[in-house]
Structure 1
């Protein structure tokens, strides 16, 4: 274990450079630059809240905040895993030239997306203040579900990045999968409108538990239950172990398939 820690510390400056490169690349030639990390979720919240509040008449107090909280969690997962999926393929020329721990490229994509997550979280706080939604002390526990979604995304990102090197079709199929997953995650709708059989399916989605936990501490003034924390911890641990296994099992063949 100490060998891996020393290796990570050795390449930590490179990780910082990769993160900065990812951020600069995303906002290259953009006038507003990183401000889009705050403006994007705000604009999407306004559009979707107008559409769904009037079309479906969801009986949800402070629906824009409810919607924004769902977008914050799901959009991060989508962005982080999509970016991580191409981390190895896109950095193929560098991997062929010098030795770099290959997981660094996946980490940089997840961490750069985490910066966007923090910006979106800041935007949500501003919206809550603007709408005079009471900020309870439970907001201080928001890092718990946020850390769960970051590490869950990292585990999924490791799996996707390793498999995509061999099977590039996954990059096209994943967008279809994420679209389906969004409808199986209570981002837009409340769980109360679902029939029992569909509710059971949605509850099997790991994102549902993390999202519900986040909404409880941010909006509902509820402490996360021990069962929800344990469930999220087990799900994250399983995905992380599986991600590390798949990644390290395949990393030696990356250079042959890039």
Structure 2
């Protein structure tokens, strides 16, 4: 509730921070925000050419480019938002020392700026669905739920990481290794059927992985045209609540010491 009240009270400032982040990211870029569409399209093209051959024997994937892009969009948002939010307190040290601003705003603004990029990247998914003549059903409107889940989960993780990075700067270098391992334990590229002969502990981790649930729900409503099982939504909400509670708690307990460490 404290986090929500900060968000409502300082919504104008958050909007300015988000706008600044987006402008800074695409400053002096000829194509600017268009890269949010081109990047996933180019990556999807390369990965589809490579992996569609290897996974061709799994015939239950009717539209591999859309299958792949659904996983990419969700995981890439999580990866980008948490990575840039992790250093938000450290990199805003001068401002924090000079002016009182609720420190929650810095990681939250980073997540929201990545959220704007995610919404722009959805245009790439629309293009691929049109080109591949994917079946579009009314369930596509339910895509808002997995997008909201990954936004909330990323916010909680970002709050935790941004607080932890103030005391443990090495985390900012180690995190890319963690997210790489996390990606391979998430069915972004490969179909779940490929795990049939995998060790049981690998199957357990992949199924328990919160990102797996978000991506499954997104693929259900976008690619398969069906509503996702209720249990997936329940599990996703539990992960979101846990991430927000832990992230907010750690951030609140640590924020008074930020000014001494940045």
Report if TM-score (shorter chain) is over 0.5: yes
Q: CA separation in 1, counterparts of 2:53 and 2:215? A: 24
Q: CA separation in 1, counterparts of 2:10 and 2:146? A: 28
Structure 2 equivalent of residue 161 of structure 1: 162
Preserved CA contact (<8 Å) 1:191 1:199 = no
Structure 2 equivalent of residue 235 of structure 1: 239
Structure 2 equivalent of residue 96 of structure 1: 97
Deviation at 1:56, TM superposition (A): 4.2
Q: CA separation in 1, counterparts of 2:115 and 2:212? A: 19
**What secondary structure sits across from 2:224 in the alignment?**
coil
Preserved CA contact (<8 Å) 1:154 1:240 = yes
Distance 1:241 1:40, change over 3 A: same
Q: CA RMSD in A?
A: 1.5
Structure 2 equivalent of residue 40 of structure 1: 39
Preserved CA contact (<8 Å) 2:37 2:121 = yes
Q: Which digits, 9 at most, give the CA deviation of each residue in 1:102-159, with x for residues without a partner?
A: 0101111000000111111221012101111011111010000000000000000000
Deviation at 1:15, TM superposition (A): 0.9
Q: Which digits, 9 at most, give the CA deviation of each residue in 1:20-74, with x for residues without a partner?
A: 1100111111000000001100000000100111244353211111110110011
Preserved CA contact (<8 Å) 2:3 2:104 = no
Structure 2 equivalent of residue 75 of structure 1: 76
Structure 1, unaligned stretches of length 5 or more?
none
Q: CA separation in 2, counterparts of 1:157 and 1:4? A: 15
Structure 2 equivalent of residue 249 of structure 1: 253
Q: Which digits, 9 at most, give the CA deviation of each residue in 1:189-237, with x for residues without a partner?
A: 0001113613222101111011101100101112122111111101110
Q: CA separation in 2, counterparts of 1:3 and 1:156? A: 14
Range 183-192 or range 51-60, more displaced: 51-60
Work out the number of aligned pairs and report it: 257
Structure 2, unaligned stretches of length 5 or more?
none
Preserved CA contact (<8 Å) 1:142 1:218 = yes
Q: CA separation in 1, counterparts of 2:82 and 2:107? A: 9
